[in-house]
Amino acid sequence: MNYASFTAADGSPTWGVIIDAQAYDLGPTGLNLAPTLRAAVEQGIFGALGEEFRTAPVRPEADIEFLPAITDPGKVICIGVNYRSHQNETGNAAHQKEQKAPTIFTRFADSQMGHLQPALMPATTNEFDYEGEMALVIGKQAWHVAEDEAFDYVAGYSAYNDFSVRDWQLATTQWTPGKNFPGTGGFGPYLVPAADLGDVTKLTLETRVNGDVRQKASVADLYFTIPQLIAYITGFTPLSPGDVIVTGTPGGVGRFMTPSGLLNEGDVVEVEITGLGVLRNTVVPSA
């Protein structure tokens, strides 16, 4: 079942499920099962619906405005250089073979946008790039989680586009500035329960720019696996329901293409992951 955050007919934020291109409002303007999708995860509603959703107010999916799948995560933790193909294109493969822990940076929740919302290219850069990724959402309090128990803490999965402002990212060894401009964290369109997907290592991630395939990889190609990521992250910070881990991007980013594949105004970027739908954002200059 596809869950999503979106705006109600009156423009206020809500959430619900999307079935057969129809959006059922389960939030404050509908059945009011929980105030947000994050709260639904915390309360155990997410992934546990019966047929009661069919009594909710409904609108065509084409009429809703998508919000980030989780609009109010307490933490968004991103993993850098975590596909072997991306390690190779960055020239870091030899170093990565000896790396004992994942590269981690954070993204602020207010830098995110939803499906079909513009990706805002800052006026201060000519180095705007895409990074198609798979995100996971934590389903329960997680602290010092063992690898063999890690999947028990995952509520669901979604597509993510970690749009990157490369000159700001690479100005120092700390990447945070280049990863937190407004309107650069595409998240959605749907959040799909983990139980609906089965073995996520069998999923395929594909990123397209104006229809041209730039990235394509199996989730099985992650260098640090999902259990390893959860175990490591919860070794230094507790995670709460609704927190997000963005697991890394494959090779094929624009910066390392010849000629350059960096983004321009009007480019349409799509991230498609098996079973998670297509996240689509168009590049627009930031005001």
What's residue 96's pLDDT? 57
Q: What is the pLDDT of residue 232?
A: 98
Q: For the segment 186-201, what is each residue's pLDDT rounded down to a tens digit?
A: 999 999 999 999 999 9
| pLDDT tier, 100 (very low <50, low <70, confident <90, very high otherwise) | confident
- Evaluate if residue 81 carries a pLDDT over 70: yes
pTM value is 0.95
Question: pLDDT confidence of 233, banded at 50, 70, 90?
Answer: very high
**Nearest CA among 265, 272, 285, 134 for reference residue 214:** 272
Q: What is the pLDDT of residue 84?
A: 78
pLDDT at 174: 84
Q: What is the pLDDT of residue 173?
A: 85
Res. 82: pLDDT tops 80: yes
Q: How large is the average pLDDT for residues 43-68? A: 95
What span, in angstroms and rounded, lies between the C-alpha atoms of 152 and 141? 11
- Kindly report, residue by residue over 147-167, the tens digit of the pLDDT: 999 999 999 999 999 999 999
98 pLDDT higher than 90: no
pLDDT bucket at 14, cuts 50 / 70 / 90:
very high
The more confidently predicted of residues 243 and 96 is 243
Judged against a pLDDT cut of 60, whether residue 131 lies above it is answered with: yes
Other beta carbons within 10 angstroms of residue 7's beta carbon come to 15
Angstrom distance (rounded) from CA 84 to CA 77:
20
For the chain, give every domain's residue range.
2-63, 76-285
Sign for the CA dihedral angle at 73, 3, 272, 181 comes to negative
Asked whether residue 87 carries a pLDDT value surpassing 80, the answer given is no
Residue 240 scores a pLDDT above 70: yes
Has residue 88 got a pLDDT over 80? no
Residue with tokens 């709260």: 39
Strand 103-106 and strand 76-80: pairing? Answer: antiparallel
Query: Distance (Å, rounded) from C-alpha 143 to C-alpha 137?
Result: 15
What is the rounded (10 degree) CA torsion for 243, 231, 252, 284?
A: 10
What residue has token string 């995670």? Answer: 239
Query: With the CA atoms of 229, 230, 236 and 237 taken in that order, what torsion angle do they form, in degrees rounded to the nearest 10?
Result: 130
CATH class assigned to 76-285? alpha beta
Specify the higher pLDDT residue, 86 or 118: 118
Contact criterion met (CB below 8 Å) for 45 and 35: no
Measured CA to CA, the distance from residue 195 to residue 204 in angstroms comes to 17
Question: Quick one: pLDDT at residue 268?
Answer: 98
